[in-house]
Amino acid sequence: MKRFLVLDSFRGLCALAVVLHHSHALQSFTELAFFKHANYLVNFFFVLSGFVLYHIYADRLQSSAQLKRFVIARICRLYPLHLAMLLIALGLECLKMVAEQRGVSFGVGSFTGAKAPGEILPNLLLLQSWWSGFNQMSFNFPSWSISVEFYLYLIFALVFAVLPSVSRKVFAAIAVLAFVALHFNNVLFPEGALVGLGCFFTGALTYRLYASFKDLQVSAPVATAMEVLSLLTVYLAVTFSSPSQNISLSLLFCAVIAVFAFESGWLSTLLRTRLFKWAGMLSFSIYMTHSIVILLLQMGVMLLGKLTGQTLLIDMVGREPGELVRYVNTGSTLFDNLFVVIELGSVLAVSVLTYRYIELPGIELGKLWGRKATGHAEPAIKAETETTPISRETAS
C-alpha cells in the first residue's frame, strides 16, 4: 500500500509554519503576511487527514474487530501526548498560583478565564471544541483541533462500519452540510468543528477522485509546473486571505493534495529528502508542544526584562475584537529574529524528546492493546500517514 511521503513532509512544513504563526516578535519575519495568516493551514490538515485515512481504512473497517482496533489505535496515537501537555499546562497554572500567593503577579490570575477549573474535564474528554459552552483555547490551546480530529475519526469509522454501501454519499452530505452551516454562521456547532467536518470529509472524497486517476502518467516537467502553480496559488490565497475564505481555501487545499499525491514533479522529489521527512515525523510533537515552549521562553524574556529594567514584552491589539497578543520586542531586528530562531530550535529539541518518549510508546501501546482486545494481531500497515491538524488560532 502506497505511503504518501510528500504529504508527510507537508505536515512538517505546516507544523513549523504554525510555530512561526504563534511566535510573535515585533521586528521579525514572523510578521510576514503569510505567517500572520497561517492559521488557515488547519483546513489543509483536516483535508489531508480525511484523504489519507480513506486511503488506508476504506476496506479495513468492515467488522467489529477492525473497528475496535481502529479506535484503540487512534486513542493511543493522539491521547498520550495530549494528556502530557495538558498536565504540564496544569502544572504551570499551579506554579503560577504559588507565585501569586507570594506576591508575584502575572496579569491574569491562575485558573481563571480560559484556564478555569471547569475547563479541565472537557479537555480530558477532548470535548472542548464541540460545544460553544466550553473554551476550546483553554490550557494547551493547540489541542482544540485534536478534539475535533478525534471525534471525526469516530464518525468516519462508524459510517464505514454501519453504512458501507452508502459511505461516500454520507461523507458528501456531511461535508456539504458543514460548509453550508459555516457559510451561514450556524451556531449549533462551534466554527472549528464545522471546519473540521467539512474539510475532513471533503478530503476523503478527494481521495476517491485521486484513486480514479492514480495510474495517470504525467511527465516530470508538467507535474513540476502543476506543483509550482499550486503552491504559488496557496501562498497568494493564504497571504491575502480574509475571514470569509474558509470554504474556498479548503477546496484549494483539496486540489493541492491531489496534485502532490502523484509525487511526480521535482518539488515532490525535494520533499522526499531526509530533512523534510524528519520534519514530517516530528510534526505532531511540534504542533502539540510549541505553545508551551513559547510560553516558557516568553517567561524567560519577562524575567530578563525585570533583571535588566527593560520592557521586552508588549501587548498589542490582535485581529479579533478585544484580542491582545503578546509580542517580544527587543528593539532590534537582529535580536527579534534571533529569538524566533531560538524558539524554533527549542520546539524541535523538545519534539525529538516527546516523539521518542511519548509518541512512539503510545503507538506501541496501541498495537499491544489492539492485539489483546481482538485476540489476534493486525497486519502491519506501512502506508499509514498520521495526520494532525494545525491550529488556526491567531493568538498565543
What three-state secondary structure class fits 157? helix
- pLDDT for 378 beyond 70: no
What three-state secondary structure class fits 290? helix
Phi, psi of 140, deg, nearest 5: -80, 90
Cell of residue 263, nine digits: 509525487
What pLDDT, on a 0 to 100 scale, did the predictor assign at position 63? Answer: 87
- Greatest alpha-carbon pair distance for the chain in Å reads 69
Which uninterrupted H or E stretch holds 173? helix 167-183
What pLDDT, on a 0 to 100 scale, did the predictor assign at position 315? Answer: 84
Match 524528546 to its residue by C-alpha cell: 353
User: Running DSSP on this structure, what letter comes out for residue 314?
Assistant: E
- What is the mean predicted confidence (pLDDT) over 8-23? 94
CA dist list (Å): 320 to 33, 134, 221, 395: 16, 19, 43, 9
Cell of residue 122, nine digits: 472537557
Is there a contact between 272 and 5 (Cβ–Cβ < 8 Å)? yes
- pLDDT for 303 beyond 90: no
- What is the mean predicted confidence (pLDDT) over 48-73? 92
With respect to residue 394, please indicate whether it lies within any of the assigned structural domains.
Answer: no
% of the chain with per-residue pLDDT over 70: 93
What three-state secondary structure class fits 215? coil
Match 515552549 to its residue by C-alpha cell: 293
- Our count of domains for the chain comes to 1
Is there a contact between 288 and 349 (Cβ–Cβ < 8 Å)? no
Residues sharing a CB contact under 8 Å with residue 229, sequence separation 6 or more, in sequence order: none
User: Using CA atoms, how far apart are residues 380 and 73, in angstroms rounded to an integer?
Assistant: 12
With respect to residue 393, please indicate whether it lies within any of the assigned structural domains.
Answer: no
Residue 136 belongs to domain spanning: 5-374
With respect to residue 141, please indicate whether it lies within any of the assigned structural domains.
Answer: yes
- pLDDT for 137 beyond 80: yes
Cell of residue 36, nine digits: 500572520
With respect to residue 321, please indicate whether it lies within any of the assigned structural domains.
Answer: yes
Which uninterrupted H or E stretch holds 317? strand 313-317
What pLDDT, on a 0 to 100 scale, did the predictor assign at position 381? Answer: 53
User: Using CA atoms, how far apart are residues 208 and 161, in angstroms rounded to an integer?
Assistant: 18
Is there a contact between 50 and 175 (Cβ–Cβ < 8 Å)? no
User: How would DSSP label each residue in 346-370?
Assistant: HHHHHHHHHIIIIIHHHHHHHHHHH
With respect to residue 388, please indicate whether it lies within any of the assigned structural domains.
Answer: no
With respect to residue 101, please indicate whether it lies within any of the assigned structural domains.
Answer: yes
CA dist list (Å): 146 to 83, 153, 285: 11, 10, 12
With respect to residue 395, please indicate whether it lies within any of the assigned structural domains.
Answer: no
pLDDT in tens, 308-365: 888 888 888 777 666 788 899 999 999 999 999 999 999 999 999 999 999 999 999 9
pLDDT in tens, 21-42: 999 999 999 999 999 999 899 8
Buried b (16+ CB within 10 A) or exposed e, 268-305: beebeeeebbebbbbbbbbbbbbbbbbbebbeebbeeb
With respect to residue 382, please indicate whether it lies within any of the assigned structural domains.
Answer: no
- What is the mean predicted confidence (pLDDT) over 51-64? 91
Entry pTM:
0.91
User: Using CA atoms, how far apart are residues 267 and 260, in angstroms rounded to an integer?
Assistant: 9
Residues 31, 32, 36, CA angle at the centre, nearest 5°? 70
Residue 382 CB-half CA count within 13 A: 2
